[in-house]
Structure 1
């Protein structure tokens, strides 16, 4: 377990958080005396809890062969646990650090749907508008509403479950996929059910909503999110790029989503296929700021946030889904996954707690997602009345294809 000792990281960028939590942002120092300059500005969780968390995380990392991860848990009345484990680059052994950029997968959906809901507040769209008003060629588009798309109840086929496309992506992960091409893949399949009658996770839904934002705002989705979400919250290290580049310094991401099943470095693979559903880049600080903002709806009106939080069961105990937001046992947020990376960003309003988990591999352990295993271990120790669940094992996992071989809990987790 020695190779996974957490590294000491000084915060280089201050996240925007409620004032009551600002003093908790200093990094933890593992195994050495604390830096006197920051010791008075933070309150760590009690030593016994820290030891339990260290042991649980390093055990999972050893068993699942996780290269590296960042984890942060902030509870104003109890303390902070913020550590980096393992390596960011297996080739040269660069240690993981909390200020590294990373791809966050489907946490992107929380940003995209927030942008959509801002347009609702501005009176430019309505949740019960049909998608056909904004995007042509959608099967059943006259009766599928923006609300159903945001809540994963449209019935539209998830393009990331198309087997021919998956083989194509494995063979050429650097290929560019415009949003309309993704819709063509989805619409070559019949809808799975009538709109509003069931819940099923589908990246197609969020791609459509990204196109709605662009049509109504007249801006690219990346520029819209920058102006209306990232900048107002001072999420200075969060972006939706229009290419495959990831800023420096960053964590390398490792995946076995290859034709041979061999492990590859997916850091610079083109994420255009994920776009509005999974293309955002961020870091630990920014996600720490985003989790409470998402949960309390500070960028939305109270009425619209209330609509967002009308979650409905996804068929797994303790799990429900609202408008681009997941409720797992009281934790409000989302998981993310795409080749090389997994993530969690969530807020527990009952304890004003924030949780962020960033893992630099998506290679499941015994069919289970790594971020969920870490999230489950952390919450089982610190918030046992609100435990982040581990979705059912998936026999044949694929990137951002949560319903492929998994139940609704697995779907919500990606």
Structure 2
């Protein structure tokens, strides 16, 4: 087995109770980074104007009616807003307390479970096949490999997509869903892969090891200890994303090819089973903000990252090398978080391990995906870095203009 993928073992030696205490305290190395819930002064007007314009442009790029966004900068203030409409033609702006499907933020939480349970029901270095006897081909793949995205597993979304979009009420068994990715064969284990299959298998393994359901595990180790009152993993039955949901939409390839002149399809009510441990969690902007900023504080700082994040992998061999992944998160420079999508929503959430800058983006159309939501998050972050009279000396590895261009590159509908 490859020892280079095991550096999270030090943190794993802590008991689940110690992990929960650290999560509540939020202090494993980022003690000097302020929590965004303590930022109450408003962002300067000129920065807000830039952020609003950037968000409106990204909404148009994704073909959706609206967005909920939040930016919290310790040196400049906070901005949280619902932009656009909840649904096409409604004339009603989204409320910032609406809930939504948090997409691949779920991956970060599933890896939290792994690290919290390490040394108890499981060990990071345990073979996947120990808990899932139906995958003997993964004898040399460990649980932490699944978390790090280096298990060599293919995506299950692509081969299942026509079944998902053709029947959004369908309840998927996690094994049935993951079988599509497993059936595609194993790829390289020396590079990161964007594989939902890895997180489906990790969720199943943790359930089997603990004899508890995934919702129970999330509640015990993450949601309850952190006070995330709006966050939960729904049952498999078709439902909306909470009792006050931001409606979710889907612009098909046909709609995109027509220039997005047709209204997107309403997919607010679906079975979250196709998201499961990869992208199934429901949350709110405030909960995602608090969760991801705590995650960044737990990670330490860019000069001394905690073991879980000390070894990361380039997302693309020929892309920007400051875009990396590992530990269930992405790292854009010093900003730690996640970006991705689930039917109805495109989501990005990042928090800077050095400065505490935190950004959450929710677009209520699936079409733009994590690429678009992530590009907007980078644009808002870059604007915030220059806001106010006491901007930090640190810089991000991208500019406002570069992020602005990235939004255009990720656009599915005409803009500008």
Query: Scaled by the length of structure 2, what TM-score is found?
Result: 0.78
- Segments of structure 1 that go 5 or more residues without pairing to the other structure are 1-14, 25-41, 398-414
Match of 1:348 among 345, 352, 377: 352
Shift of 1:260: 8.0
Residue aligned with 1:363, SS: coil
**Contact persistence 1:244–1:269 (CA under 8 A):** yes
2:86 match: secondary structure: strand
Identify if the C-alpha distance between structure 1 residues 258 and 59 changes in structure 2 by more than 3 Å, giving closer, same or farther.
Answer: closer
Contact persistence 1:347–1:355 (CA under 8 A): yes
2:216 aligned to 217, 223, 229, which one? Answer: 223
Judge which range, 141-150 or 63-72, deviates more.
Answer: 63-72
- Alignment correspondent of 1:12: none
Partner of 1:57: 55
Q: How does 1:45-84 map to 2 (within 5 A)?
A: 45-62=43-60, 64-84=62-82
1:183 to 2:178 alignment:
yes
Q: Offset of 1:239 from its aligned partner?
A: 0.4
Q: Equivalent residues in 2 for 1:280-295 (5 A)?
A: 280-295=281-296
Select the residue among 88, 91, 108 that pairs with 1:90.
88
C-alpha distance in structure 1 between counterparts of 2:408 and 2:59, whole Å:
19
* Residue equivalent to 1:244: 238
How many angstroms apart in 2 are the aligned matches of 1:329 and 1:254? 31
Distance 2:408 2:209 in 1: 39
Distance 1:331 1:57 in 2: 19
1:91 Cα offset (Å):
5.6
Give the alignment partner of residue 149 of structure 2, picking from 148, 152, 168: 152
Task: Give CA deviations for 1:184-231 in whole Å, capped at 9, x if unaligned.
Answer: 2222222123xx322211111001110111112221101110111001
Q: Residues of 2 paired with 1:146 and 1:241: CA distance?
A: 24
TM-superposed CA distance for 1:247, in Å, is: 1.8
Q: Tell me, in whole angstroms, the C-alpha distance in 2 between the residues paired with 1:187 and 1:313.
A: 23
Matched, 1:337 2:337: no
Q: What is the deviation of 1:139?
A: 5.1
For the Cα contact (< 8 Å) 1:362–1:369, is it kept in 2?
A: no
Cα distance in 2 between the residues matched to 1:167 and 1:335: 23
Q: 1:69 to 1:16 in 2, by over 3 A?
A: farther
Write the distance in 1 (CA, Å) between the matches of 2:202 and 2:346. 23
Q: Which has the higher helix share?
A: 2
Question: How many residues were matched structurally?
Answer: 356
- Name the CA shift for 1:87/1:112 in 2 (closer, same or farther; >3 Å): same
1:12-411 equivalences under 5 Å are 21-24=36-39, 42-62=40-60, 64-90=62-88, 92-120=90-118, 122-138=119-135, 140-162=137-159, 165-193=160-188, 196-242=189-235, 243-245=237-239, 246-257=241-252, 263-297=264-298, 305-314=306-315, 315=317, 316-317=319-320, 318-364=322-368, 369-383=371-385, 385-386=395-396, 387=398, 390=406
Preserved contact between residue 127 and residue 145 of structure 1 (Cα < 8 Å): yes
Change (3 A) 1:63 1:256: closer
Q: Is this contact kept in 2: 1:159–1:204, CA < 8 A? A: yes
Partner SS for 1:105: coil
Q: Write out per-residue CA displacement over residues 348-386 of structure 1, whole angstroms, 9 at most, x where no aligned residue.
A: 02211111111111223xx98431232132123223632
Whole-angstrom CA distance in 2 between matches of 1:368 and 1:244: 23
Q: 1:56 to 1:170 in 2, by over 3 A?
A: closer
Q: Within 2, Cα distance between the matches of 1:105 and 1:118? A: 21
Report the Cα offset of residue 86 of structure 1.
Answer: 1.2
Note the alpha carbon deviations across 1:307-343, whole angstroms, 9 max, x for none. 2342122223211111101101211010120121011
- In structure 2, C-alpha distance between the alignment counterparts of 1:157 and 1:294, rounded to whole Å: 27
Instruction: Classify the secondary structure of the residue corresponding to 2:83.
Output: strand
Q: 1:21 to 1:202 in 2, by over 3 A?
A: closer
What TM-score do you get using the length of structure 1 for normalisation?
0.78
Structure 2 distance, partners of 1:347, 1:45, is 17
Give the SS at the match of 1:290. Answer: helix
